[in-house]
Amino acid sequence: MEFLIKALQLILSLSILIILHEFGHFFFAKIFKTRVEKFYLFFNPGFSLFKLKKGETEYGIGWLPLGGYVKISGMIDESMDKEQLKQPPQPWEFRSKPAWQRLLIMVGGVLINFILALFIFWMILFKWGDSYVPVDGAKYGYSYHPIGHEIGLEDGDIILSIDTFEVETISDVVHYILLEEPESFTVQRGDSVFRLPVPDGLGQRFLSGGVKQFAQFRIPFVVDSIISGMPAEEAGIKKGDSLIAVSGTEAPFFHEFVAELNKYTGDSTIISFYRDGVLMSLPVLVNKSGKIGIAPKSPSNYLEVKTHKYGFFEAFPAGISKGVSVLASYVKQLRLIFTKEGMRQVGGFGTIGSLFPASWDWLSFWTTTAFLSLILAFMNILPIPALDGGHVLFLLYEMVTGRKPSEKFLEHAQLIGMILLIALLLYANGNDIFRWLSE
């Protein structure tokens, strides 16, 4: 069920982004009276799942979910329709339009995706506001990845700053480490504050180790609900019990308790807990999934959550600022791809799908969709043949020099670009499959 929910969110999100991206090209083509022969969600080599002819345009859904396209008359695109280009140019064709009009047609998709992302961030801030847990809002501190323990951090520590950068939320830590190569942390441990040196290459260790969560909130494990028919109910554990140990090993916090419990998967163990201030212990069977059938109280019970609410117009500039900030951070992270460890983290549809939550949540869905819209806009504007940016590059050359690249050159460039993109697609999704098989 978790896989299905993520898959549905991925399909819906990409469908929205692809349709609106292609609509951007379609919109400007229609403004400049350029004929659009096809408008497709997904590719349709051989056959279409659905198609409808309206006017001069065929609208349809393909069977190959690797993107979408609009086929514009007189343009060298992924269809590689050379026969049309052998005929004399017609006034409704792309190649007959002035360079500035062709430029707007080509950037239309990127423009729509960028505007869409800013609009989504605007609406998110208006409806939900901006909620976050400040670093000092974690009452019990944080638990850290083993790499954090190796460099001197202890569970319960709070990272207050990195070099001169003051940490606002714990997610700032990984971003800063990956992008800035810091020299030291300022750490609060209990009542003391001290400086902790950061070893060189920590960001590369994060990448090579596939670290997805460097730090997480430490919260007590207080039972909020019991799943009927599961071992916890049969053992006599009740709502409100505060779990503190597994088989005599102290584990007063949720992540510690779960880690200890997993050691007894498929076996029985003794769980210790407080009930109404009285210490008690009960034998419990841990099923083959490492579960006993209990859910903890929400982390919000132990964390100080700050929420900034926005009015409709106030959310507009805040949404633009958020979108620009997200895009700038993404662009900075792209340099990591050119490292050995970074290349290993490149992923395809599996990686994209993992960005969505396991249960349907509209806030998470729209936040992820806005992020993907920015990525789609940026990646498409890169000056690579077969992408919008490749066409834009050749158009800018034409506008500056007054000379149009030959159709034969554009055909070869399109073919090379498509080969590069297919190779990247295979590599990225191959990485996903390799990681899945290695788990």
Higher-pLDDT residue of 349, 298: 298
- pTM listed for this prediction: 0.81
Instruction: State which amino acid sits at residue 292.
Output: I
What is residue 318's predicted lDDT score, i.e. its pLDDT?
A: 94
pLDDT over 80 at 243, yes or no: yes
What is residue 77's predicted lDDT score, i.e. its pLDDT?
A: 63
- The rounded percent of the chain whose pLDDT value lies above 70 is 92
pLDDT over 90 at 384, yes or no: no
**The dihedral of CA 395, 396, 400, 406: what is its sign?**
negative
CATH topology of domain 131-218+300-308: Pdz3 Domain (2.30.42)
**The dihedral of CA 236, 242, 246, 249: what is its sign?**
negative
Q: Which residues pair with 132 in a beta bridge?
A: 306
Structure tokens at 39: 């408008």
Average pLDDT across the chain, whole number: 85
Task: Give mean pLDDT, residues 34-49.
Answer: 88
Task: Give mean pLDDT, residues 390-413.
Answer: 82
d(CA 303, CA 217): 8
Task: Give mean pLDDT, residues 37-54.
Answer: 88
| SS3 track for the chain | CHHHHHHHHHHHHHHHHHHHHHHHHHHHHHHCCCCEEEEEEEEEEEEEEEEEEECCEEEEEEEEEEEEEEEECCCCCCCCCHHHHHCCCCCCCHHHCCHHHHHHHHHHHHHHHHHHHHHHHHHHHHHHCEEECCHHHECCCEEECHHHHHCCCCCCCEEEEECCEECCCCHHHHHHHHHHCCCEEEEEECCEEEEEECCCCHHHHHHHCCCCCCEEECCEEEEEEECCCCHHHHHCCCCCCEEEEECCEECCEHHHHHHHHHHHCCCEEEEEEEECCEEEEEEEECCCCCCCCEEECCHHHCECCEEECCCCCCHHHHHHHHHHHHHHHHHHHHHHHHCHHHHHHCCCHHHHHHCCCCCCCHHHHHHHHHHHHHHHHHHHHCCCCCCHHHHHHHHHHHHHHCCCCCHHHHHHHHHHHHHHHHHHHHHHHHHHHHHHHHC
pLDDT over 90 at 119, yes or no: yes
pLDDT in tens, 81-97: 556 666 777 888 888 88
d(CA 86, CA 74): 10
Select from 151, 190, 252 the least CA-distant residue to 173: 151
Task: Give mean pLDDT, residues 158-177.
Answer: 86
What does the domain layout of the chain look like in residue ranges? 2-128+368-438, 131-218+300-308, 221-296
d(CA 276, CA 25): 65
What is residue 86's predicted lDDT score, i.e. its pLDDT?
A: 65
What is residue 302's predicted lDDT score, i.e. its pLDDT?
A: 85
**One fold for both 131-218+300-308 and 221-296?**
yes
What is residue 367's predicted lDDT score, i.e. its pLDDT?
A: 93
Structure tokens at 438: 């290695």
Give the CA dihedral 63, 69, 72, 77, nearest 10 degrees.
-100
Task: Give mean pLDDT, residues 141-162.
Answer: 89
What is residue 89's predicted lDDT score, i.e. its pLDDT?
A: 75
d(CA 230, CA 373): 42
pLDDT over 80 at 342, yes or no: no
Task: Give mean pLDDT, residues 287-294.
Answer: 84
Task: Give mean pLDDT, residues 67-78.
Answer: 80
pLDDT over 70 at 273, yes or no: yes
- Per-residue pLDDT band for 341 (boundaries 50, 70, 90) equals low
Parallel, antiparallel or unpaired: strands 130-132 and 306-308: antiparallel
What is residue 26's predicted lDDT score, i.e. its pLDDT?
A: 93
CATH topology of domain 221-296: Pdz3 Domain (2.30.42)
pLDDT in tens, 202-223: 877 877 777 778 888 888 989 8
CB neighbours of 196 closer than 8 A, spacing ≥ 6?
Answer: 151, 152, 153, 184, 185, 186, 187
- Per-residue pLDDT band for 43 (boundaries 50, 70, 90) equals confident
- Per-residue pLDDT band for 195 (boundaries 50, 70, 90) equals very high
